[in-house]
Amino acid sequence: MRDDDVPVPELGPGEALIAVMASAINYNTVWTSIFEPLSTFMFLDRLGKESRWGARHALPYHVVGSDASGVVLKVGDAVRNWKPGDRVTVHCNYVDDQDPTAHDDSMLAANQRIWGFESNFGGLADLALVKANQLMPKPAHLTWEEAAVNALCNSTSYRMIVSPNGSQMTQGQSVLVWGATGGIGAYACQYVMNGGGTPVGVVSSEKRVALLNELGVEAVIDRRAEGYNFWKSDTEQDPSEWRRLGKKIRELIGRDVDIVFEHPGRQTMGASVFVAKRGGMIITCAATSGFMIEYDNRYLWMNQKTLKGCHYANYREAWESNRLVYEGKIHPVLSEVFPFEETGEAVAQVHANAHEGKLGVLVLAPEEGLGVTNPEMRDLLIDKITLFRGGA
Ligand code: NDP
């Protein structure tokens, strides 16, 4: 990653130019930084061939970043709902609303992209270029950096847990959440608890167990302390280790889980398919530890489980999950804030699994703590807002 000056892109009719006050590190910034599984320049070239406006993105540099909070600076002629001066957060579903395939669930659109990953001019820059249908109101009780970290992970977890496009958890159900203090896991736990479900959180340190307990998650598994070894070798899994995990879950909550919130991928999928209850669902949005997955299909078909893929969120889902943050029902899981010049260090921490929750990046905000316009609501919620930073 490099910090450099580049020209401001031309503004399209349905677009907005945003002064970015703060941004966040997502795992996709790890992928863009290491060119895995692909170099993202391929995505930019493909977008460049679509239209005159798409051609702006095919450049020899990629301004990355898929989260931002900031202020609208300028809007294109076709923008109706936003004006300069509006305080916003940005969600990263980047779709062409003139494409008919985008008009049911826009995540199924043929040309659906993730802004700042499959498009240029993302959030890790002073100015970001977005489509107007990526904008959402900034939660007034949050600082710029707290408001910047939610959209990508929060909306993903909303779709996976709450939405009919995901697992649509109902009250009384239980959900095994891998990486439960990580970016998406920490929002997933909040959704499970808000919806009257029981999360079983999996983490890998005592510190993370304590953090989950403070968040309100009672059933927690420390995978490192338990020493699970689901793979005997690079090619062979150990079903007795899947069973040991299943037994631990039953000890903790007295039954098997209805839903598994899956994203580590190759390392855990065999276990995830095994421990879901008969008729249960394994919902997956990623494969951090490897995307060539193996599981024993007998446990899936004989026990009539569903394995369902899920990717980011459409505008409605992003809007709803932002509304829940706005209303103080879902809280940011910001643990640390980096100055813009140290973005690379923050990305390295996420890559090394050395962080909890989300890492924020200050861009145009000169210091932390700015941007709050509803201090009364903030005072009421301060313990929850600052939980991942070690409390108020
Ligand atoms: P984080 O790094 O913040 O959290 C991931 C968590 O997963 C870690 O806290 C860690 O928890 C756990 N983990 C890591 N490796 C393993 C492993 N081998 N076995 C078990 N647990 C593991 O990342 P995010 O939560 O932000 O993202 C997770 C994945 O989801 C990434 O691959 C990301 O690209 C993807 N993603 C996909 C989205 C989509 O729309 N499709 C949207 C957002 C994210 P611990 O060590 O404590 O167990």
Per-residue tens of pLDDT for the chain, all 392 residues: 899 999 999 999 999 999 999 999 999 999 999 998 889 999 999 999 999 999 999 999 999 999 999 999 999 999 999 999 999 999 999 999 889 999 999 999 999 999 999 999 999 999 999 999 999 999 999 999 999 999 999 999 999 999 999 999 999 999 999 999 999 999 999 999 999 999 999 999 999 999 999 999 999 999 999 999 999 999 999 999 999 999 999 999 999 999 999 999 999 999 999 999 999 999 999 999 999 999 999 999 999 999 999 999 999 999 999 999 999 999 999 999 999 999 999 999 999 999 999 999 999 999 999 999 999 999 999 999 999 998 65
Q: Is 354 exposed, middle or buried (0-12, 13-18, 19+ CB in 10 A)?
A: exposed
Q: What pLDDT is stored for residue 392 in this prediction?
A: 56
Structure tokens at 51: 């239209």
Contact between 118 and 63 under an 8 Å Cβ cutoff? The reply is no
Q: Distance between CA 209 and CA 207 in Å, rounded?
A: 5
Q: How far is the CA of 264 from the centre of ligand 1 (A)?
A: 6
In angstroms, the first-to-last Cα distance of the chain is 33
Q: Is the CB of 285 under 6 A from ligand 1?
A: yes
Handedness of CA 27, 32, 37, 40 (dihedral sign): positive
Question: CA distances (Å), 316 to each of 23, 107, 163, 248, 330, in order?
Answer: 22, 11, 10, 37, 17
Q: Distance between CA 324 and CA 289 in Å, rounded?
A: 31
Residue type, 117: F
For residue 178, which atom of ligand 1 is closest to its CA? Answer: 21
Which residue has tokens 């699970």? Answer: 228
* Of 79, 36, 40, the residue nearest 58 (C-alpha): 40
Within a 10 A sphere around the Cβ of 304, how many other Cβ atoms? 9
Q: Is the CB of 184 under 6 A from ligand 1?
A: yes
Instruction: Report the residue among 27, 245, 359 best suited for mutation to probe ligand 1: largest number of ligand atoms under 8 A from its CB.
Output: 27
Strands (E) located in 125-240? 127-131, 135-137, 174-177, 198-203, 219-222
Structure tokens at 168: 């649509």
Q: Distance between CA 328 and CA 377 in Å, rounded?
A: 8
Q: How far is the CA of 97 from the centre of ligand 1 (A)?
A: 30
Residue nearest to atom 46 of ligand 1 (CA): 204
Q: How far is the CA of 265 from the centre of ligand 1 (A)?
A: 9
Handedness of CA 351, 354, 356, 362 (dihedral sign): negative
Q: Is the CB of 185 under 6 A from ligand 1?
A: yes
For residue 26, which atom of ligand 1 is closest to its CA? Answer: 26
* Of 26, 187, 36, the residue nearest 115 (C-alpha): 26
Q: Distance between CA 262 and CA 269 in Å, rounded?
A: 7
Residue nearest to atom 47 of ligand 1 (CA): 203
Q: Report angle CA 191, 289, 202 to the nearest 5 degrees.
A: 40
Which residue has tokens 């004989």? Answer: 302
Q: How far is the CA of 254 from the centre of ligand 1 (A)?
A: 27
Q: Is the CB of 286 under 6 A from ligand 1?
A: yes
Could you tell me the pTM of the whole model?
A: 0.98
Q: Distance between CA 111 and CA 323 in Å, rounded?
A: 27
Q: How far is the CA of 263 from the centre of ligand 1 (A)?
A: 6
Residue nearest to atom 15 of ligand 1 (CA): 264
Q: How far is CA 92 from the centre of its chain?
A: 10
Phi, psi (rounded to 5 degrees) for 239: -60, -25
Q: What pLDDT is stored for residue 175 in this prediction?
A: 99
Q: Distance between CA 184 and CA 157 in Å, rounded?
A: 6
Q: How far is the CA of 284 from the centre of ligand 1 (A)?
A: 11
Contact between 215 and 387 under an 8 Å Cβ cutoff? The reply is yes
For residue 204, which atom of ligand 1 is closest to its CA? Answer: 47
Phi-psi region of 132 (alpha: psi -120 to 50; beta: other; left: phi over 0): alpha
Longest dimension (CA), the chain: 62
Question: CA distances (Å), 63 to each of 28, 121, 124, in order?
Answer: 13, 5, 7
